[in-house]
Amino acid sequence: MSAVQSELETYQMYVNGQWTASDSGEYFESYNPYTGRPWALIPRGNARDVERAVDAAQRAFTGPWASLNASQRGALLHKLGDAVAEHAAELAAIEVRDNGKLVAEMGAQLNYVPQWYYYYGGLADKIEGAVIPVDKPGNFNYTRHEPLGVVAAIVPWNSPLLLTAWKLAPALAAGNTVVVKPSEYTSASTLAFVRLLEDVGFPPGVVNVVTGFGADVGTPLVEHPLVRKVAFTGSDKTGQLIYETAARGMKRVSLELGGKSPNIVFDDADLENAVKGVISGIFAATGQTCIAGSRLLVQESIHDQFVEELTALARTAKMGDPMNMDTQVGPVTNMPQYQKVLDYIDIATGEGAKSVLGGGKATRPECGDGWFVEPTIFTGVSNTMRIAQEEVFGPVLSVIPFHDEDEAVAIGNDVDFGLAAGVWTQSIPRAITMAERLQAGTVWVNTYRAVSYMSPFGGYKRSGLGRENGQDMIKDYMQVKSVWISTASDVPNPFIIR
Ligand code: NAD
């Protein structure tokens, strides 16, 4: 280890209730995007680490975890929620350092994350089978909802603790055990969080965390025959690969993928609110959210006025240290993503789009050596351009004019993705019609970005498969068994199927 490396904070993976280095003994650096410098060392896992973790998870599934009843599992999840709430500030500080998320956002997010553990903890002992009044005389039939076994939770870098909770809480409530693979860019907060599971008394092996790269850890995890479900959030490209691999093992998948969501402003909208909604849709979290409203569709009649007001407010965004409570736009989380965002700005310019705000690296003194991109707004975008079709995952907004409702729907739906859409209008019939016609898993009217543990979330088209959040989805972590018991005194003629 070099002299510089030895000053870095060293993390361990968590397998079978033990803190451990990787099988290879290798580590990789995790960077602080605000300074552009490494701050932590993360174990570089491989297929043998995956093997150890899945083996531990399988043993816990049939052993100590299976011996707890659903109410006991729920009580543990409740304690976990309390522990997250208690340690929210410390976890937030780690995620800000590793990810560049604003401390103002993280504070609010980590006060909300416990709700996932409370909600699914409460649901754990309310999953009931049914007695089916079957049409076959002399038979008693009932159903059981059983857990699947080992679940792989594969998480991206943009909201590690939140998106881990979305998978972990229902998976555990349903009685499964879990191997979590955080992103190689942001593993630290997950490793800090998992300590809380130990503290509140989860048996060893129920939750394991294997850190490392997609090819070294993600692939063997998805391929492992004992993994029965892959709960994935990430890019559509990786999602497709996982879907194909999981199909070979006949595994279940849930895929929460990317987006290119339209935020649609009609001329009858409350424009002041719409401006704020559009800004929150694309510049909050530096645009690094799957639900980013990266295409602003604005009605022709108000186009110029709206762009002017939008640009004026976006221009006031305070950039800088994400640990300052008043910072509004932080850095891009990692160097490849930073480069990708800058490349897309070049692509848009090359395609003929006109930048009316930003359009490059942020060189403000308060941004230091961090990976900052100026909030950027492009006008003159047509929906066929790459900047309108491809996910940038950064603070880059494309403005596209439309004439009427039909054209707004046509443009809104004319992308491969279908994660979310925003509609700004004061007309109730228009709001309802638009919500019906837009091909998106979530439609917001006169708001943007609201999500809750109670409400289903997921994508149409290339934005994914399955849903997270809400009551129904816990069944996606379970399988149904139908049990038939004969109440007849004799076995009927065996040569005839009844
Ligand atoms: P990514 O697909 O590159 O990586 C996601 C995770 O998959 C990481 O942990 C990575 O190591 C792992 N991985 C990579 N290759 C793998 C493989 N072959 N097999 C198994 N695992 C593999 O995505 P990212 O860049 O970390 O995240 C950004 C993407 O996530 C964006 O497209 C964004 O829209 C999407 N996202 C979606 C949602 C949603 O809920 N729909 C939420 C947040 C982010």
Q: Is 406 inside a domain boundary?
A: yes
Q: Do 308 and 215 fall within a single domain? A: no
pLDDT value at position 383? Answer: 98
Q: How far is the CA of 214 from the centre of ligand 1 (A)?
A: 9
Q: Do 232 and 339 fall within a single domain? A: no
Q: For residue 9, what pLDDT band results from cuts at 50, 70 and 90?
A: very high
Q: Is 233 inside a domain boundary?
A: yes
In Å, how far from its chain's centre is CA 370? 24
Beta carbon of 391 within 6 Å of any ligand 1 atom: yes
Beta carbon of 152 within 6 Å of any ligand 1 atom: no
pLDDT tens profile 108-136:
999 999 999 999 999 999 999 999 999 99
For the chain, the first-to-last Cα distance in angstroms comes to 71
Q: Do 294 and 231 fall within a single domain? A: no
Looking at 105, 184, 256, 374, which residue is catalytic?
A: 256
The domain tally of the chain equals 2
Name, in order, each residue with C-beta under 8 angstroms of 4's C-beta and a sequence gap of 6 or more.
Answer: 38
pLDDT value at position 233? Answer: 98
How much of the chain, in percent, has pLDDT values that exceed 90?
Answer: 97
| Residue nearest (by alpha carbon) to ligand 1 atom 31 | 235
Q: How far is the CA of 233 from the centre of ligand 1 (A)?
A: 5
Going from the C-alpha of 397 to that of each of 153, 287, 339, 420, the distances in angstroms are 31, 9, 17, 15
pLDDT value at position 493? Answer: 86
**Is pLDDT at 287 greater than 80 in this prediction?**
yes
Length of the chain as a residue count: 498
Long-range contacts made by residues 411-414, C-beta under 8 angstroms, separation at least 24? Answer: 411/262, 411/295, 411/297, 411/383, 412/262, 412/264, 412/295, 412/297, 412/438, 412/439, 413/437, 413/438, 413/439, 414/383
Q: Do 335 and 251 fall within a single domain? A: no
How much of the chain, in percent, has pLDDT values that exceed 70?
Answer: 99
CATH number of the domain where residue 424 is located: 3.40.309.10
pLDDT tens profile 361-418:
999 999 999 999 999 999 999 999 999 999 999 999 999 999 999 999 999 999 999 9
The atom number, within ligand 1, closest to the CA of 237 reads: 2
Q: Do 168 and 226 fall within a single domain? A: yes
**Is pLDDT at 6 greater than 80 in this prediction?**
no
Q: Do 237 and 267 fall within a single domain? A: no
In a mutational test of the pocket of ligand 1, which residue from 30, 50, 101, 233 has the highest number of ligand atoms less than 8 Å from its CB? 233
Q: Are 370 and 361 in contact (CB under 8 A)?
A: no
Beta carbon of 99 within 6 Å of any ligand 1 atom: no
| Phi, psi of 277, deg, nearest 5 | -65, -40
pLDDT value at position 4? Answer: 46
Q: What is the 3-state secondary structure (H, E, C) of 145-196?
A: EEECCEEEEECCCCCHHHHHHHHHHHHHHCCCEEEEECCCCCCHHHHHHHHH
The atom number, within ligand 1, closest to the CA of 457 reads: 40
Q: For residue 492, what pLDDT band results from cuts at 50, 70 and 90?
A: confident
The atom number, within ligand 1, closest to the CA of 292 reads: 34
**Is pLDDT at 3 greater than 50 in this prediction?**
no
Q: Is 490 inside a domain boundary?
A: no
pLDDT value at position 497? Answer: 78
Q: Are 41 and 10 in contact (CB under 8 A)?
A: yes
CA distance 22 to 459: 35
CATH number of the domain where residue 37 is located: 3.40.605.10
| Residue nearest (by alpha carbon) to ligand 1 atom 6 | 156
Please provide the average confidence, as pLDDT, over all residues in the chain. 97
Q: Is 450 inside a domain boundary?
A: no
The sign of the CA dihedral 340, 343, 349, 351 is negative
Q: Is 156 inside a domain boundary?
A: yes
The atom number, within ligand 1, closest to the CA of 185 reads: 26
Q: Is 453 inside a domain boundary?
A: no
Amino acid, res. 294: S
Looking at 184, 290, 391, 468, which residue is catalytic?
A: 290
The sign of the CA dihedral 45, 49, 50, 54 is negative
pLDDT tens profile 75-108:
999 999 999 999 999 999 999 999 999 999 999 9
Amino acid, res. 406: D
**Is pLDDT at 301 greater than 90 in this prediction?**
yes
Find the DSSP H helices in 414-461: 428-437
- Which domain, by its residues, includes 310? 262-445
Q: Mean pLDDT, to the nearest integer, of 233-255?
A: 98
Q: Do 82 and 230 fall within a single domain? A: yes
Name, in order, each residue with C-beta under 8 angstroms of 24's C-beta and a sequence gap of 6 or more.
Answer: 44, 46
**Is pLDDT at 2 greater than 80 in this prediction?**
no
Q: Do 250 and 282 fall within a single domain? A: no
Q: Are 326 and 25 in contact (CB under 8 A)?
A: no
pLDDT tens profile 14-65:
999 999 999 999 999 999 999 999 999 999 999 999 999 999 999 999 999 9
Q: Is 456 inside a domain boundary?
A: no
Q: Are 443 and 423 in contact (CB under 8 A)?
A: yes
Q: Are 164 and 193 in contact (CB under 8 A)?
A: yes
Beta carbon of 155 within 6 Å of any ligand 1 atom: yes
Q: How many CA atoms lie within 13 A of 147 on its CB side?
A: 25
In a mutational test of the pocket of ligand 1, which residue from 46, 217, 235 has the highest number of ligand atoms less than 8 Å from its CB? 235
Strands lying side by side in the sheet with 27-32: 9-10, 37-43, 27-32
Beta carbon of 219 within 6 Å of any ligand 1 atom: yes
Entry pTM: 0.96
Q: How far is the CA of 151 from the centre of ligand 1 (A)?
A: 17
Q: Do 109 and 19 fall within a single domain? A: yes
Q: How many CA atoms lie within 13 A of 283 on its CB side?
A: 26
pLDDT value at position 245? Answer: 98
Q: Catalytic: 256?
A: yes
Q: For residue 496, what pLDDT band results from cuts at 50, 70 and 90?
A: confident
Find the DSSP H helices in 12-159: 47-62, 70-86, 88-99, 103-112, 114-123
Q: Is 496 inside a domain boundary?
A: no
Q: Are 139 and 487 in contact (CB under 8 A)?
A: yes
Q: Do 178 and 305 fall within a single domain? A: no
Q: Do 222 and 371 fall within a single domain? A: no
| Phi, psi of 27, deg, nearest 5 | -130, 160
Going from the C-alpha of 325 to that of each of 318, 329, 367, the distances in angstroms are 11, 11, 15
Tokens of 495: 């040569």
Q: Do 170 and 316 fall within a single domain? A: no
